Amino acid sequence: MDGLMDSLFDPVMLARIQFAFTISFHIIFPAFTIGLASYLAVLEGLWLWKKDSVFLDLFDFWKKVFAIVFGMGVVSGIVMSYEFGTNWSVFSDKAGPVIGPLMGYEVLSAFFLEAGFLGVMLFGKERVGPGLHFFATLMVAVGTLFSAFWILSVNSWMQTPAGYGMNDVGQFIPVDWWAVVFNPSFPYRLVHMVLAAYLTTAFAVGAVGAWHLLHDRDNRPALIMFSMAMWMAALVAPLQIVAGDLHGLNTLEHQPAKIAAMEGHYETRQGAPLILFGLPDDEAEVTRYAVEIPKLGSYILTHDWDGELKGLKSWPKEDRPPAALVFWSFRIMVGLGFAMVLIGFWSLIHRRWGGGLANARLLLRASVLMGPAGFVAILAGWITTEVGRQPFTIYGLLRTAESVSPLEAPALLGSLLLFFVVYTTVFGAGIYYVLKVMAKGPSRESEDEMQVPTRAAGIMPGAWQASKSHGHPGQG
């Protein structure tokens, strides 16, 4: 209890909690928009190619969700840029010459591209030709990927700094921009994050499709949504496992203390076991109640059954990350990743031998439950990454305690409480509205727009059937 009270009035801990809270809200929105923007481009491309109005109905439905999520992502990101000035001014001063230009490139190349074509994508369907509208959708998708490129470059440089020098006043200055941007962990981190964004979107889209199929298995738009999401899960989730493994090997090379915390190892060992579960205890320097598989930890990380893994005791206590949080967040991320692989393969079995996806009710229910899995996995992965590099903001060079602004604890606690109230109110309302839109679904939306009469009994044509019978404005 005394430790908890000390943390509540520790300015460094309060600044960290506030940043963690705001970035946890923020990161799920850009991750969702990265995947949704590409999904929208695919849907519009399929509509132009196949001339099937169901793809345009799905495009219009997910476009509405994209607009809401994009707006919340922009607002939550702006707040974080202010925090660099208010709570982390020392960090901003020292790292600004490197990080400032990278963030500026993100605004110039990515945000301008997204914002410039977003209006055409959202409101220009009836005002520009189909080709130009599709080009605008593609540019929005490319812009989200550019944004991921620059943001991951910044974050990776903080994890594995390269291409820098120090000036007379102790600031980091760029001496080789290629080395700064393409620092040692950047390629792995970028691929891992973009795949995570695609999987997050796939499981959110799949959950919406599964939800509507459970209520109406003849709902064709829902079946198409679910089918596309399951293909993404079957193909990309295994790739993510491979990308994660390569990212782990890179982390072992450049941030071995983080790997020791992720694995729950305090002692340096050859032929180290893989600890599946346990309770890391930093005070006693031991992982209690460990469930282990002999030698597998060394084999996974060194590809040698007797390879050496450094334990946390190899570093002074003041240079170690807190093991328990990193250990468990890593396992949540990996566990959800393997669950995604399972869902993807399960869907393949139903396609081939199970009578089709629409009749796979157990798979549909599981997919609804897995809808938030991507968001949870991203948050868990982010915690693993960011807590695992503690106690540094710039790994090995600038400590977190030396990066914070000279603020008093009451000011930080007050702003943290204010952020909590505003965020839960504003973004809670936004998320509630997104869920309502998802629950309504594209079919009912089309029905409302076309004012299809309802019937108390008998067979009522679905929206896709109605759109076919009425013809779609975009169809030649």
Mean pLDDT of 353-370: 88
pLDDT of residue 291: 93
Mean pLDDT to the nearest integer, 3-22: 79
What's this model's pTM, rounded to 2 decimal places? 0.88
Q: What is the mean pLDDT of the chain?
A: 87
- Is 121:140 a contact under the CB 8 Å cutoff? yes
* Between 399 and 217, residue with greater pLDDT: 399
CB 383 within 8 A of CB 323: no
pLDDT for position 202: 95
Length of the chain: 476
Give the pLDDT score at 447.
46
The stretch 381-405 carries a mean pLDDT of 93
Say what the pLDDT of residue 25 is: 82
d(CA 454, CA 51): 27
Going by pLDDT thresholds of 50, 70 and 90, the confidence category of residue 423 is confident
Residue 10 has pLDDT above 90, yes or no: no
Cβ within 8 Å of residue 273, ≥6 positions away: 290, 292, 293, 294, 295, 296, 297
Q: How confident is the model at residue 7 (pLDDT cuts 50, 70, 90)?
A: low
Q: What is the pLDDT of residue 408?
A: 85
**CB-CB contact of 298 with 307 (8 Å):** yes
Per-residue pLDDT tens over the stretch 246-283 = 999 999 999 999 999 999 999 999 989 999 999 999 99
The residue to which tokens 């190349």 are assigned = 109
Dihedral in degrees, nearest 10, Cα atoms 237, 238, 243, 248: 100
Residue 468 has pLDDT above 50, yes or no: no
Give the model's confidence band at 112: pLDDT under 50 very low, under 70 low, under 90 confident, else very high.
confident
d(CA 218, CA 331): 38
Band of the pLDDT at 227, cuts 50, 70, 90?
A: very high
- Binned at pLDDT 50, 70 and 90, residue 3 comes out as low
Chain centroid offset of residue 229 CA = 16
- SS3 annotation, the chain: CHHHHHHHCCHHHHHHHHHHHHHHHHHHHHHHHHHHHHHHHHHHHHHHHHCCHHHHHHHHHHHHHHHHHHHHHHHHHHHHHHHHHHCCHHHHHHHHHHHHHHHHHHHHHHHHHHHHHHHHHHHCCCCCCHHHHHHHHHHHHHHHHHHHHHHHHHHHHHHCCCCEEECCCCCEEECCHHHHHCCCCHHHHHHHHHHHHHHHHHHHHHHHHHHHHHHCCCCHHHHHHHHHHHHHHHHHHHHHHHHHHHHHHHHHHHCHHHHHHHHCCCCCEECCCEEEEEEEECCCCEEEEEEEECCHHHHHHHCCCCCEECCHHHCCHHHCCCHHHHHHHHHHHHHHHHHHHHHHHHHHHHHHHCCCHHHCHHHHHHHHHCCCHHHHHHHHHHHHHHHHCCCEEECCCEEHHHCCCCCCHHHHHHHHHHHHHHHHHHHHHHHHHHHHHHHHHHHHHHHHHHCCCCCCCCCCCCHHHHHHHHCCCCCC
Q: How confident is the model at residue 446 (pLDDT cuts 50, 70, 90)?
A: very low
Q: What is the mean pLDDT of residues 442-453?
A: 49
Q: Structural domain boundaries of the chain? A: 10-183+408-444, 217-399
Structure tokens at 155: 């974050």
Q: What is the pLDDT of residues 84-101, one digit of tens each?
A: 888 899 999 999 999 999
φ, ψ of residue 111 to 5 degrees: the values are -65, -40
- pLDDT band at residue 173 under the 50/70/90 scheme: very high
Round to whole Å and give the CA distance between 361 and 213. Answer: 9
* Separation of alpha carbons 143 and 118, rounded Å: 10
Angle of helix 323-353 relative to helix 256-263, nearest 10 degrees?
Answer: 70
Q: Which residues contact 15 (CB under 8 A, 6 or more apart)?
A: 87, 88, 404, 405, 407, 412
Query: Given this model, what pLDDT does residue 196 score?
Result: 95
57-61, 215-219, 323-327, 339-343, range with the lowest pLDDT: 215-219
* Count of other CB atoms within 10 angstroms of residue 461: 13
Kindly list the distances between the CA atom of residue 208 and the CA atoms of 63, 205, 365, 445, in Å, as whole numbers in the listed order: 14, 5, 11, 14
Give whichever of 58-67, 117-126, 457-466 has the largest mean pLDDT: 58-67
- pLDDT at residue number 465: 45
Q: Looking at residue 476, what is its pLDDT? A: 29
Q: What is the pLDDT of residue 457?
A: 41
